[in-house]
Amino acid sequence: MLHFASACERNPWPRLISWLLLASCCYALPLAARAASQDTDSARSDLRIEGSNTLGAELIPALLKGMLQQQGIRQIQLEPGAQANEQILLALGRDGRHLRFDIAAHGSSTGFTALAQGRADLAASSRLIKAAESQALAHLGDMRSAASEHIIGLDGLAIIVHPDNPLKALSSTQLAQVFAGQVRDWSELGGPQGSIVLYARDEQSGTFDSFNELLLKPNAVQLSATAKRFEDSSTLSAGVSQDRQAIGFIGLPYVRHSKPLAVSAPDAQAMLPSPSLIATEDYPLARRLYLYSPAPSNNPWLQQLVAFAHSDAGQAIVKQAGFVGQNIQAMTVEVQADMPSAYQQLAATALRLSVNFRFAEGSASLDNKAQQDLKRLLSYLQAEHKLSGKVVLVGFADSKSAAQRAELLSRLRAMAVRRELQRAGAQVQNMLGMGAAMPVASNTGDEGRVKNRRVEVWVYP
């Protein structure tokens, strides 16, 4: 041992080299650990959103970007995901931490499945959650409650054809017959002779579910097996715009180079999918756009996204994406001869607001959208100095009840909205009960009757 020590003293390089090797190993371990930590951090998702292609293709990334920009975060990058219709939004937080948001847009039903399996924090849906889906997610809370169900905008299912198609309007009955394959030639609808080619979204799509609930089921038919099916909305729309024999259905932002047709429900006039008619949900194929979340949720990004989507800035992005926002506006209504006389007088002297109040199914309580609309209405009335006696509420019922009872129910609905407004300090000048007059949807099915049970809001200048 003394011999070895003395040798080292005579030649210190072996000891020095050993020490340097040991030191480098000790230093390399923390470096490797830090690198591994960074890799894990970049792969970890701060918010996972799955579901509707209608929402996930453009609107959800735009809302996420807007939310981050509002917080002063600027280094934002959108990249393609591992599969088609998947995207990853990356950003650098103000604290220097890497942020990641994953968006998978394979259809509304896939969002609810992902929530149930723990693969998603938020489900995007272009249709109402189904009872079976809500039951499967009961362990995450009541999905129909205001804490879980968030209506972030409105859309109208547009019936689209080739730009050169001479037809301008079809009834819901005719459309059901067309998409069921019962009407197969354009000449049967008053158009030029030629076989009709059907374009439709795929089975996972909320757009298809909405079309099925709003049009096919009320007419007791199913989509023809000959229909061409698409997962992507843009591809479907592009196909229709290039096919002279085509007819399809799509969300409003995806009409693009195709031609939309006006649609009429039984006993109602034909309507084009205009923003004002979609905002009031009078258009026969209007639908709501949803985010569904567990309640309560401890994910701060989820909470911030939902709050941002409801804000004025978020609703502006909804509108920029081609959908219909929920910010309230005043509009004139043309007086028509078939309107009830009291309604004609109102239309001649007042302005209608772009909001209708509707009620929870089988309940006299305002539904989740109406609860948010109440806040928007109060803000509008305050900003326009109309909180005191400038408001008229007009209630409607469906035709399921006798005429006298329908008139009573329509007035009771208007009273329910007045009660909520008065609690917040707004005074209503008058209320009208229109009974089952002026239906905006068919009364033969539950979906149509729910739409007809509504309260319109009018204001005097």
Here the CATH number for the domain that contains residue 272 is 3.40.190.10
Judgement on whether residues 268 and 339 belong to the same structural domain of the protein:
no
- Whole-angstrom distance, CA of residue 448 vs CA of residue 441: 5
- The whole-number pLDDT of residue 362 equals 67
Q: What's the rounded mean pLDDT across residues 381-395?
A: 96
In a domain, 79, yes or no: no
Report which of 371, 364, 351, 376 is spatially closest to residue 415, judged by C-alpha positions: 364
Q: Residue 9 above 60 pLDDT?
A: no
Q: Residue 196 above 70 pLDDT?
A: yes
Residue 359 β-bridge partners: 366
Report which of 182, 178, 177, 156 is spatially closest to residue 165, judged by C-alpha positions: 178
Report which of 288, 253, 283, 287 is spatially closest to residue 270, judged by C-alpha positions: 283
- Whole-angstrom distance, CA of residue 368 vs CA of residue 361: 11
Question: Where would I find the H helices in 283-393?
Answer: 300-310, 312-320, 341-349, 368-383
Q: Residue 31 above 80 pLDDT?
A: no
Judgement on whether residues 268 and 345 belong to the same structural domain of the protein:
no
Judgement on whether residues 430 and 349 belong to the same structural domain of the protein:
yes
Q: What's the rounded mean pLDDT across residues 294-305?
A: 96
Kindly report, residue by residue over 421-458, the tens digit of the pLDDT: 999 999 999 999 999 999 988 787 777 788 899 999 99
Judgement on whether residues 273 and 351 belong to the same structural domain of the protein:
no
In a domain, 108, yes or no: no
Q: What's the rounded mean pLDDT across residues 338-362?
A: 93
Last residue within a domain, chosen from 221, 252, 279 = 279
- Whole-angstrom distance, CA of residue 420 vs CA of residue 91: 42
Q: Parallel, antiparallel, or unpaired for β 427-433 and 388-395?
A: parallel
Q: How many C-beta atoms lie closer than 10 Å to residue 102's C-beta? A: 19
Judgement on whether residues 237 and 159 belong to the same structural domain of the protein:
yes
Judgement on whether residues 256 and 377 belong to the same structural domain of the protein:
no
Domain containing 21 equals 2-43
- Whole-angstrom distance, CA of residue 93 vs CA of residue 286: 38
Judgement on whether residues 454 and 332 belong to the same structural domain of the protein:
yes
- The whole-number pLDDT of residue 361 equals 73
- Whole-angstrom distance, CA of residue 320 vs CA of residue 322: 5
* Phi and psi, residue 423, nearest 5°: -60, -30
In a domain, 136, yes or no: no
Q: What's the rounded mean pLDDT across residues 272-282?
A: 95
Q: Residue 254 above 70 pLDDT?
A: yes
Q: Residue 189 above 60 pLDDT?
A: yes
Residue 206 near residue 54, CB atoms below 8 Å = yes
Judgement on whether residues 352 and 256 belong to the same structural domain of the protein:
no
pLDDT band at 34 (very low <50, low <70, confident <90, very high): very low
- Whole-angstrom distance, CA of residue 366 vs CA of residue 373: 10
Judgement on whether residues 204 and 261 belong to the same structural domain of the protein:
yes
Structure tokens at 342: 């009291």
Q: Residue 43 above 70 pLDDT?
A: no
In a domain, 106, yes or no: no
Q: Residue 345 above 80 pLDDT?
A: yes
Residue 159 near residue 170, CB atoms below 8 Å = yes
- The whole-number pLDDT of residue 441 equals 81
Angle value at C-alpha 256, between 253 and 260, nearest 5 degrees: 85
Q: Residue 1 above 80 pLDDT?
A: no
- Whole-angstrom distance, CA of residue 422 vs CA of residue 455: 16
Judgement on whether residues 264 and 335 belong to the same structural domain of the protein:
no
Structure tokens at 299: 């994910």
- Residue 236, H or E segment: helix 233-241
Distance (Å) of CA 374 to CA 29, 62, 216, 309, 357: 59, 26, 32, 16, 8
DSSP string across 144-167:
TSTTTEEEEEEEEEEEEE-TT---
Distance (Å) of CA 22 to CA 4, 17, 439: 20, 9, 84
In a domain, 315, yes or no: no
Q: Residue 19 above 70 pLDDT?
A: no
- Whole-angstrom distance, CA of residue 54 vs CA of residue 194: 31
Last residue within a domain, chosen from 252, 279, 306 = 279
Residue 331's Cα: distance from chain center in Å?
Answer: 23
Question: Whole-prediction pTM value?
Answer: 0.84
Report which of 435, 317, 353 is spatially closest to residue 67, judged by C-alpha positions: 317
Judgement on whether residues 337 and 454 belong to the same structural domain of the protein:
yes
In a domain, 55, yes or no: no
Q: What's the total number of domains in the chain? A: 3
Report which of 209, 233, 231 is spatially closest to residue 59, judged by C-alpha positions: 233
**% of the chain with per-residue pLDDT over 70:** 90
Residues 6+ apart with CB under 8 A from 452: 396, 397, 398, 399, 436, 439, 440, 441, 443
Q: What's the rounded mean pLDDT across residues 94-105?
A: 96
Q: Residue 23 above 70 pLDDT?
A: no
What is the dihedral angle through the alpha carbons of 186, 192, 197, 203, rounded to the nearest 10 degrees?
-50
Judgement on whether residues 269 and 336 belong to the same structural domain of the protein:
no
Amino acid at 365: S
In a domain, 411, yes or no: yes
**Location of structure tokens 């909180």:** 387
Kindly report, residue by residue over 130-178, the tens digit of the pLDDT: 999 999 999 999 999 999 999 999 999 999 999 999 999 999 999 999 9
- The whole-number pLDDT of residue 36 equals 37
Q: What's the chain's average pLDDT?
A: 90
**% of the chain with per-residue pLDDT over 90:** 82
Report which of 202, 224, 204, 223 is spatially closest to residue 212, judged by C-alpha positions: 223
In a domain, 64, yes or no: no
Residue 126 near residue 287, CB atoms below 8 Å = yes
- The whole-number pLDDT of residue 451 equals 86
Q: What's the rounded mean pLDDT across residues 168-194?
A: 97
Structure tokens at 133: 């889906």
pLDDT band at 15 (very low <50, low <70, confident <90, very high): low
